[in-house]
Structure 1
Amino acid sequence: MPFSSLGLSSVLLNTLADQNFTEPSPIQAQCIPAILNKHDVLCIAKTGSGKTAGYVLPILMNLQQTLAVKNRHAHVLVLVPTRELAEQVAAVFKTFSKNLLQSVKTVAIYGGVSINPQMMALQGVHVAVATPGRLLELLNSNAVSLSAIETLILDEADKMLNLGFKEEMDKIISLLPKARQNILCSATLSKDLQNIHQLLLKNPIVIKIETEDGSLDLIKQVAYIVSNEKKGPFLRYLINHHEMKQVLIFASSVHQVDAIVNKLRKNNIDAKAVHSKKSQGSRTESLANFKSGKLRVLVATDLMARGIDISSLPFVINYELPRSPKDYIHRIGRTGRAASHGDAISLVSTNELDHFGIIQKKMGKQVELIDSEQIRIK
């Protein structure tokens, strides 16, 4: 099925061709017509399946009609859990809107940076991509109005609910016009998401392509039993032995992320950290360098992973296991994307073995488990 069969304009079709989009992904093939027809939509599909373009393209189409009538307030609100994802979603809107007859102004708004430039940027905005906390600050300062919002999107809705944004989101939603289109996007259908779906969506079209487990087929998984005190040297051995040029490493705390980076750098392995304690400028620079291949190793917490979207990342390493099996699946799902194979390696201490068994059961896959004591490291 080509994009031309979905009701998109010739301008958007040309932009898609310029960006080497040849045919829609399964989620795009179903989302685009549903959103074009102004239905509420619940979209459940694995990370990396093309959900963002699946809602951006039809929203831009619908905006072309809306913008023919002048209105100085934003028409579209996208709520996201992290600054990185805000930038990522805004970039997709800007990429696909650059040749449209009616120009579309998109602004990413998030905390951790000065609020004044964002206040100025919001003048004449059509699409606001926001984290809830900073949006509320701007609303309290009368820097933005939600009175003209026609479409609300909750992207990574499952993560937003888990991160405790409920109170902030309730306040924001109470300020929106009651007559609007609602779109929820998520990798999983959690109990919290089912509850908000029932509250927000009116006669929604539910699109569920596959569970996130389906993305594991392209990922070669292996785990090593390693004592906590030997994880550092063994990690360096893996990076050098496999000649890893681009590897994403996950740890469960800010402190552990920083400790890993310091050890790697002391051993002449170029590495940077991304976590909530880093400045926005530092995080943006590290992510950009990693995506472009200028940075060899990026070490991150689970929260930061939401802004790391690389089509052919070759390696992911779990320095320690996450508490949630879903987070494990999300971590290793950073690789094995866009039909590219990837390797996911986990360093498992003896006290994590039972938990790793639970993760494998939840995943429905057995992972090869190797005792690192059998491996001679230089």
Structure 2
Amino acid sequence: MFDFSERLKKLPPYLFVELDRLKAEVQAKGVDVIDLGVGDPDLPTPEHIVEAGKRALEKPENHHYPSSVGMIAFREAVVSWFKARFGVELDPASEVVTLIGSKEGIAHFPLAFVNPGDVVLVPTPAYPVYHIGTLFAGGETYYLPLTAENDFKPDLKSIPEDVLSRARILWINYPNNPTTAVVTKEWFSEVVAFAKEHNLIVAHDAAYTELYFDGYVPPSILEVPGAKEVAIEFHSLSKTYCMTGWRIGFAVGNPELVKGLTTVKNNVDSGCFQAIQEAGIAALTGSQDCVAEHRRIFDERRQVMLEGLKKLGFEVHPPKATFYLWVKVPEGYTSADFCAKVLKEAGIVVTPGNGFGDPGEGYFRIALTVGKERLEEALSRLASLSL
């Protein structure tokens, strides 16, 4: 009999593992399940990226251990992309590190800067890994509720002084998962000023900056003057280029913060496979028409679901970014009860909002990661439910 460590015992059930279990139960009964749960795009990786990866697989030099910090050619591609997209200059040698997907970097980052007893400020509802990385590093999570009343932004002024005095990292995520909220560069300026005042590291998860609509274009926190003094930003090729299974991303920003994360990686992984980095170079330096086409497709799906849900009486705010919808559950249901009903009676997987944190109660998240026809089928099934 082997006993799990205390850190594993403290872990909450990982949200999507439980969703997969419930989905399997329903599928075992022969139900054609429409999965709108996990944010895994159904669109294939663009062909020019796949072809670059194929060619790179055949190179013997890519069959050896890669560098933990990543190929200089990939980091230079990041620098070029970042300059073109955000107008921000980066040093590829000291301000960029390649990641095995941004999730890996987010989970490892607290290990570099958090000691037992330190506080990490974590938004909620949110991607679970901000808290899990804190837990693994021995830190204490202080949750910052994201509510509609505050436009799903954390109220930094509400943090008690005794918490701030022990805080090391402030996690933020915009465009936001799961709420789809967006922010301005001016708000990022307020965060940078707050971090400087309280000697905080700002860790910004920017996985959804390239999925935007209605004329809104998400900024990087590094566009704010002085942000590099306090901030590190995590980017993913997963959503932008439909490369979720390839596992590649990058972190950029303050050299000391990048060095700390790189030092952790030096000791726990052997870096991202170089063939995948070559595919990443093709993604970042090639035509971005594929990204625009992905936006067009997700926007079309967004419009279908917004119109259909509103006709059915659901309350949902049109998102300006991400490929999610953050929807109010109907009166008389909890988030979990409603999502269970939808799965069992309509064969549709949607994610209960409270699975991302307590303030998510009363909402559910839809991922627009199936085709338009399947979304229309989902709306038809929802219309047949008695709510």
Q: Please report the TM-score for the alignment, with normalisation by the length of structure 2.
A: 0.37
TM-score (norm. length: structure 1): 0.38
